[in-house]
Amino acid sequence: MPSAERPDPAGTVYRHDVARSRLPRDPLMWAAVLIGAAGLLVGAFFVLSPGGGGPGGSGSTAVPAAATPPTAAPTPSAEQPAAPTIPATTPPTTAPTTVPPPQPTGPTVFRQVASGRCLGIDGDGEKAAAKLVDCTDDPRQRWLADSIGPGLVTLVNQASNMCLDVEGHSADDGAKLQQYPCHGEANQQWRLVPTAGGSVLLAALNSGRCAHPDAGRHDAGTDIRQITCVDAPDQQWLLG
């Protein structure tokens, strides 16, 4: 806007600017301006603050946390360690067999497995006791197995021609063995029972008991008696 010119009294022309607009000098106007500015600042504070709510809001609003996805159960590996394999036991096709000893056909020596001593007779008379004796090839240590039936023999002493006999037809443990005139009854009949080691048990038919040294002794001169069969070396005899 062009400024108004007025002539100077001295004839000089001066340029005078138009007076600039000024802020109001009224105190009430200033108060209104300040209150309005304060209101704007307070409104901006609530709008921009993190916890500020909109109209009708009350305080800060908690933002729900993101849901944690469930943890999947571990998937079993496709290749699990194999359980130990127990090898199958193949049962034997046939039960182990015991090879029976050859049937004696002539005078035979019965040698005890436990002591290496022989079955002999103490004397030549009737009822002479059967003993465990040192093997000397004496005829009183030799026996002829005379077959009288399937698996049954009588044992005839070569020196006396008498039979190995269970005294008194006894069926008791501890009954004495002796020689006695042959009569063929059950107390003179014997089974030669084979064992796994190739020896035999001398089992009396009348009692089912076996020839055994008295009290399990092994010294020469020990009486031979019958006791319950246990297939032990004291009852095992090798034929020779």
CATH of the domain at 120: 2.80.10.50
Percent of the chain exceeding pLDDT 90 equals: 50
The CB density around residue 178, as the number of other CB atoms within 10 Å, is 23
| Element of type H or E holding 156 | strand 152-157
Inside any domain, residue 16: no
Note whether residue 94 is domain-resident.
no
| pLDDT at residue number 104 | 67
Domain-located, residue 109: no
The model's pLDDT over 56-108, given as tens digits with 9 standing for 90+, comes to: 444 444 444 444 545 555 554 445 545 545 445 444 444 344 455 556 667 89
pTM: 0.58
Q: Is the pLDDT of residue 12 over 50?
A: no
- The answer to whether residue 6 sits within a structural domain is no
Q: Does 87 fall in a domain?
A: no
Tens of pLDDT, residue by residue over 35-48, are 766 666 655 555 45
Widest Cα–Cα separation across the chain = 200
- Tell me which residue range forms the domain holding 200: 115-239
Whether residue 21 is predicted with pLDDT greater than 80 in this model: the reply is: no
Enumerate residues 6+ apart whose C-beta is below 8 A from 26. none
Is the pLDDT at 228 greater than 90? The verdict is yes
Residue 82: predicted pLDDT: 52
Q: Which residue has the higher pLDDT, 133 or 36?
A: 133
- Which pLDDT score is estimated for 23? 53
Decide if 66 is inside a domain: no
Q: Is 160 domain-assigned?
A: yes
The two tokens of residue 89 are: 């036991």
Q: Are 163 and 156 in contact (CB under 8 A)?
A: yes
How far is the C-alpha of 17 from the C-alpha of 29, rounded, in Å?
A: 27
Q: Is the pLDDT of residue 153 over 60?
A: yes
Q: What is the domain count for the chain?
A: 1
Q: Domain for residue 166, yes or no? A: yes
The DSSP bridge partners found for residue 15 are 5
Is pLDDT larger for residue 3 or for residue 160?
Answer: 160
